[in-house]
Amino acid sequence: MTVDTWQIVAQGILGTLQLTAVGFALGALLGLPLLVLRISAAWPLRALARTYIEVTRGVPLIIWLFLIYNGPTQIDPALGSVFTSWRSAVLAIALVSAAYMAEIYRGALRAVKQGQFEASRALGMSRLDTATRVIGPQMVRVAIPSSASYAIGLLKDSSLASTIGVFEITYYASVASSNTASVTPFFVAGIYYVALTFPSAWAARSLEGYLMKRTA
Amino acid sequence: MTEIWNDWLTHHDQLLGGLWVSLRLAFMALLLGLPAGLVLAVGASSRRRVLRGFIVVVIEIGRGTPALVMLQVVYNGIPVTLTGFVCAYIALALTTAAYTSEIIRGGLQSVPGGEIEAGRALGMSSFDVLRDIVIPQGLRIAIPPLMGFCILMFQATSLAFIIAVPELTSQARSIANNTFHYLNLFVIAGVLYAIVTVSASLVTEQVEKKLQRHV
């Protein structure tokens, strides 16, 4: 295991972190309107959101990556320059994360005691105020642990983006592996992933312990 | 739409063959991975500190390594030449063991401590307590999340295309590479995956409801 291998694979760490962070942030944002649709009073909207969530989560990420990256070129080869590796990967991860995050938010919403809706309505608070000042802050606390473990999972799933040529850890590992005809780069990649997820998992666990004390 | 349908008519044999390989792969990975997960779960709740520490490190490494990297390591790293299918089976089983051990451990821990003490007080050995009291009840609690994991593992078999296992994703990809009908083929593959996973998650939901009545 030469120092070289470590350095070559390390080139991808930033790519992995960027892809995970941007994809997750977009997904977390898109998850909110999806949640609103999912719990909407109008059943067609609810069914639409439910279908989106089930189908998005039911199809492997790799299919989304290929579909978004390669799919448009069937219609017009020029679209290949619009859906670059990086954009396709971010888009695929954001779409899938939105579905997962909407379900996490919904779980958090259910964990907040229902009486609080009625209580704040009875106190004359508007629906918007109830949502943003009473329910929202508590939801965030409940949702953080599961969001964190989802984000950690995403860090590893972002390795799939190497298959469409995004420059992240696994990509550099496969390049180095085929150049040197050895498996060492993949061991190195594994160690980097464990090194990235280990502290995040630990941080998520202690955050969880702290936050659970502060929910009614 | 009609174009997608035409592609389906032309290639459905190959695609369904791929789906069958995916299903078999998931089944094999779970067959080996789930018992290993149970062993790891029991080890991780052991009272011996050294053993526990060792198992926890193994689990964390297994969970921290992406399945894609695991596949590559097993495929390229084992000095004996194995077929892609066997390698995928081993790699996915390792991932399964690491992930399910945490799910099972959660189930085992939810068995009330009083029952364990009661068993010990009746003169049962700690192995008997584990086998007859903790595991049957703990596994039952763990069933819905384990089923959810099985669905995820079925999806993870799509990664095996990277080591040339002819499963659904790799079939769709090779057809698309020949015909340039990328959109059509990946839509079809996605629909096939969704049919399996969505119906499986509906079943899981039913099982969950049924089990909740008995807990």
- For residue range A106-157, what is the model confidence (pLDDT) as tens digits? 988 888 877 888 888 889 888 888 888 888 888 888 888 888 889 988 998 9
- In the structure encoding, which two tokens stand for residue A117, read together? 């809706």
> At CA A176, angle to CA A170 and CA A178, rounded to 5?
100
What integer best gives the mean pLDDT of chain A? 88
Instruction: Please compute the mean of the pLDDT values over residues A208-212 and round it to a whole number.
Output: 71
The pLDDT value recorded for residue B90 is 92
Instruction: Please compute the mean of the pLDDT values over residues A36-54 and round it to a whole number.
Output: 92
Give the integer Cα–Cα distance in Å for B185 and A99: 23
Please say whether the dihedral angle defined by the alpha carbons of residues B117, B119, B122 and B123, taken in this order, is positive or negative. Answer: negative
Judge whether residue B215 has pLDDT over 60. Answer: no
Whether the CB-CB separation of A160 and A65 falls below 8 Å is answered with yes
Query: Which residue in B70, B72, B169 is closest to A62 by CB distance?
Result: B169
Q: How far is the first Cα of chain B from the last one, in angstroms, to the nearest whole number?
A: 47
Taking CA atoms, B204 is separated from A143, B124, B213, in Å, by 23, 35, 15
CATH number, position B36: 1.10.3720.10
Determine which helix (DSSP H) or strand (DSSP E) holds B36, and give its type and residue range: helix B2-44
CATH number, position A94: 1.10.3720.10
Give the gap in angstroms from C-alpha B164 to the nearest C-alpha of chain A. 13
Give the percent of chain B with pLDDT over 70.
99
Give the gap in angstroms from C-alpha B70 to the nearest C-alpha of chain A. 8
Judge whether residue A83 has pLDDT over 80. Answer: yes
> At CA A151, angle to CA A149 and CA A154, rounded to 5?
115
Query: What confidence category does residue A215 fall into, taking pLDDT thresholds of 50, 70 and 90?
Result: low
Q: Which domain does A73 fall in, by range?
A: 3-212
Query: What confidence category does residue A200 fall into, taking pLDDT thresholds of 50, 70 and 90?
Result: confident
Give the integer Cα–Cα distance in Å for A102 and A162: 26
Total domain count for chain A? 1
What chain A residue is nearest to B75 in terms of C-alpha separation?
A183
Query: Which residue in A58, A70, A160 is closest to B198 by CB distance?
Result: A58
The pLDDT value recorded for residue A1 is 55
Residue B156: list chain A partners with CB under 8 A.
60
The pLDDT value recorded for residue B122 is 93
The pLDDT value recorded for residue A181 is 82
Total domain count for chain B? 1
DSSP 8-state code for residue A125: -
Query: Which residue in A54, A63, A160 is closest to B68 by CB distance?
Result: A160
Judge whether residue B23 has pLDDT over 90. Answer: yes
CB A58 to CB B169 under 8 A? no
Give the integer Cα–Cα distance in Å for A192 and A169: 8
Whether the CB-CB separation of A13 and A167 falls below 8 Å is answered with no
Give the integer Cα–Cα distance in Å for A50 and A35: 10
Taking CA atoms, A82 is separated from A79, A94, A161, B47, B133, in Å, by 5, 17, 17, 57, 59
Question: What is the residue whose two structure tokens read 């049924």?
Answer: B210
CB A198 to CB B201 under 8 A? no
Q: Which domain does B21 fall in, by range?
A: 2-212
DSSP 8-state code for residue A58: H
Query: For the whole model, what pTM was predicted?
Result: 0.86
CA dihedral A89, A92, A94, A100 (to 10 degrees): -130
Query: What confidence category does residue B214 fall into, taking pLDDT thresholds of 50, 70 and 90?
Result: low
What chain A residue is nearest to B157 in terms of C-alpha separation?
A60
What chain B residue is nearest to A152 in terms of C-alpha separation?
B64
Give the integer Cα–Cα distance in Å for A165 and B144: 36
Interface confidence, given as ipTM, is 0.84
Give the gap in angstroms from C-alpha B132 to the nearest C-alpha of chain A. 32
